[in-house]
């Protein structure tokens, strides 16, 4: 295993030990590839694509790619996952991008009601984690706070937070404190081209 990949997996793996990890940042920061990489490291795994990520094509062997185009479809799959985790048939579930399937409801439902819908999914994901599965959520970033969107809801999972950023040819992954995401708890960085190359090789995309 090449050093950039080994070091990235070690960084992420330590933060996934508690059972739940949130990977967040802006578009283009390798969030999706990181989620797929974690799926590949914990097979059999399920990758649930939401929003524009419902177009993700194939995944590595042992990783099921499940595109969703509605929150109802996504919630049904997460409900199914709880049983698979309890039966030992699934080791990790990743949702990319969390909340994306709730965006269309903003035109007709209150933010409070949408928040309750998101909380219902988080509670199911907590059951999956308690059943033996790792849970990875890929989230967009609230730029004003430097935190994942819907942090108040996500906190119910008690996850570790990792913010990723790709800038000036460098990938930076930084653990942030759950109680105050402005506080850094650890950092990984490597040349972006090297990370893209090793992840692509690991996923069979090279």
Residue-by-residue DSSP string for 151-180: HHHHGGG--EEEEEEEETTEEEEEEE-SS-
DSSP 133: -
Summarised one tens digit per residue, pLDDT across range 137-164 is 999 999 888 899 999 999 999 999 999 9
pLDDT digits (tens, 9 = 90+) for 58-75: 788 899 999 999 999 999
pLDDT confidence band for 77 (50 / 70 / 90): very high
pLDDT at 58: 76
Helix (H, G, I), strand (E, B) or coil at 45: strand
| Under 8 Å between Cβ of 8 and 190 | yes
- pLDDT score of 206 more than 60: no
pLDDT digits (tens, 9 = 90+) for 10-53: 999 999 999 999 999 998 899 999 999 999 999 999 999 998 88
Secondary structure class of 36 (helix, strand, coil): helix
| Alpha carbon distances (Å) from 147 to 56, 62, 140, 141, 170 | 25, 32, 9, 6, 20
Tokens of 196: 């893209």
In this predicted structure, what is the pLDDT of residue 2? 66
Q: Give the integer Cα–Cα distance in Å for 154 and 118.
A: 9
């Amino acid at each position: 295993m090449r050093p950039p990949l080994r070091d990235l997996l070690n960084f992420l793996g330590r933060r996934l030990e508690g059972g739940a990890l949130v990977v967040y940042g802006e578009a283009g920061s390798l969030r999706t590839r990181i989620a797929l990489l974690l799926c590949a490291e914990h097979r059999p795994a399920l990758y649930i694509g939401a929003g524009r990520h419902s177009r993700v094509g194939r995944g590595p062997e042992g990783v099921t790619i499940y595109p969703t185009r509605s929150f109802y479809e996504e919630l049904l799959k997460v409900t199914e996952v709880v049983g698979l985790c309890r039966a030992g048939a699934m080791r990790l579930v990743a949702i990319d991008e969390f909340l994306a399937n709730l965006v269309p409801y903003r035109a007709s439902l209150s933010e409070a009601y949408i928040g309750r819908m998101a909380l219902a999914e988080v509670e199911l994901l907590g059951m999956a984690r308690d059943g033996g599965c790792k849970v990875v959520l890929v989230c967009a970033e609230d730029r004003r706070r430097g935190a994942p969107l819907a942090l108040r809801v996500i906190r119910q999972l008690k996850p570790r937070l990792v913010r990723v950023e790709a800038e000036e040819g460098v990938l930076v992954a930084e653990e942030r404190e759950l109680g105050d995401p402005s506080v850094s708890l650890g950092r990984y960085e490597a040349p972006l081209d090297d990370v893209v190359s090793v992840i692509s090789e690991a996923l069979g995309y090279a």
